[in-house]
Amino acid sequence: MTQKTVITCAVTGSAPTTDKNPGVPVTPEQIATSAIEAWRAGASVVHVHVRDPETGAPSMAYELYEEVTERLRASESDILINLTTGPGARLMPGVDDPMQFQDGTTVKTPLERVAHIEKLKPDICSLDVATMNFNQHVFLNTPDHLAIMAQRIKAAGVKPELEVFDTGQIVLAEKLIKDGHIEGPAYFQLCLGISYGATATPEAMMHMRDRLPAGSAWSAFGISRQQFPMAAQAVLLGGNLRVGMEDNIYLGPGEMAPSNAALVERAARIVHDLGGAVASPAEAREILGV
């Protein structure tokens, strides 16, 4: 392991709630504060979703992304900002009439999903190269939508983090690169353990890693109880890793994580215990090609 390991912290996501763990950040101030604490603990990238400050529900409100971004840029940290483009892809067809969508459908246009990226120009933004069943809804990211989003992200000068949940999605990502929508070498995030994608196992991670385009930077994560085993596996396979409350709210069996920083601290300890070193934000820029 000659390369240092980049730790990404996914601070809140859209699923975990304060009812399950009171440490989950909700307001822009809480999200930014949690991100800075994660930076102090060793994270060099923060992956950001936003939520309605009143209800805690997932949100796509531009002003919330703007406040988090401004707070981070005004802080002492030099952490790389990674804003999500995942919201706006949830489709729930009706059972009796599939053309009548159920409550919970949030499908938006490609331009709506990247509007905050074009305005705020973060260092990185996620791009989910996946249409798949996701619990009880469809996570909808069609090739033509992805091409439009990728083109706008490229024009904004932002590095896309290509989130893939199975090997077929790597093939689609390769086509987006070949067609010129994404510049290579690309940066991939291997997402493991999410229903109904690739399992959080060493075999699945190795299989996906081996199918990435040559020269790609990559990171990986597992959700829930597989967060730390997959973090260790990513280090052993020469990749980078992601932890955070978006993916897991426990520090250990039956032990709630008090903060994102606590999850990052444990991940950094895993890196060191395996003989590696944690990358600084400046080093992360070079490793990920930002």
Cα–Cα distance measured from residue 71 to residue 66, given in angstroms and rounded to the nearest whole number: 8
* Average pLDDT over all residues of the chain: 96
pLDDT at 12: 97
Decide if 1 is inside a domain: no
Flag whether pLDDT at 190 surpasses 70.
yes
What does the pLDDT look like over 2-47, one tens digit per residue?
A: 689 999 999 999 887 889 999 999 999 999 999 999 999 999 999 9
CA angle (1, 82, 15) in 5-degree steps: 100
When pLDDT is averaged across residues 192-196 and rounded to a whole number, the result is: 94
Residue 208 has pLDDT above 80, yes or no: yes
Asked if residue 132 belongs to a domain, the reply is yes
Q: What is the pLDDT of residues 51-104, one digit of tens each?
A: 999 999 999 999 999 999 999 999 999 999 999 999 999 999 999 999 999 998
Host H or E run for residue 192: strand 187-192
pLDDT class of 175 with cuts at 50, 70, 90 = very high
The pLDDT assigned to 3 comes to 86
Residue 201 lies in a domain: yes
Is residue 17 one of the residues assigned to a domain?
A: yes
Q: Which of 188, 213, 53 is nearest to 130 (CA)?
A: 188
pLDDT mean over 141-158: 98
Quickly state the pLDDT bin for 1 (edges 50, 70, 90): low
The reported pLDDT for the residue numbered 135 is 83
Q: Is residue 148 part of a domain?
A: yes
CA 66/CA 267 separation, integer angstroms: 29
Distance from chain centroid for Cα 65: 15
Quick one: which of 183, 130, 126 has its CA closest to 155?
Answer: 183
The reply to whether 141 falls in a domain is: yes
H helix and E strand count, the chain = 9, 15
Output the DSSP codes for 253-286: TTEE-S-HHHHHHHHHHHHHHTT--BPPHHHHHH
Return the pLDDT at 17.
84
- Is 131 contained in some domain? yes
Domain span including residue 19: 7-288
Beta-carbon-side half-sphere exposure of residue 213 (alpha carbons within 13 Å): 21
Contact 123, 81 (CB under 8 A): yes
Report if residue 2 sits inside a domain: no
**CATH number of the domain that 177 lies in?**
3.20.20.70
pLDDT at residue 239 above 90? yes
Predicted confidence at residue 2, as pLDDT, reads: 66
Shortest CA distance to 44 belongs to which of 8, 13, 75, 2? Answer: 8
Q: How far is CA 63 from the centre of its chain?
A: 20
Domain count for the chain, please give it: 1
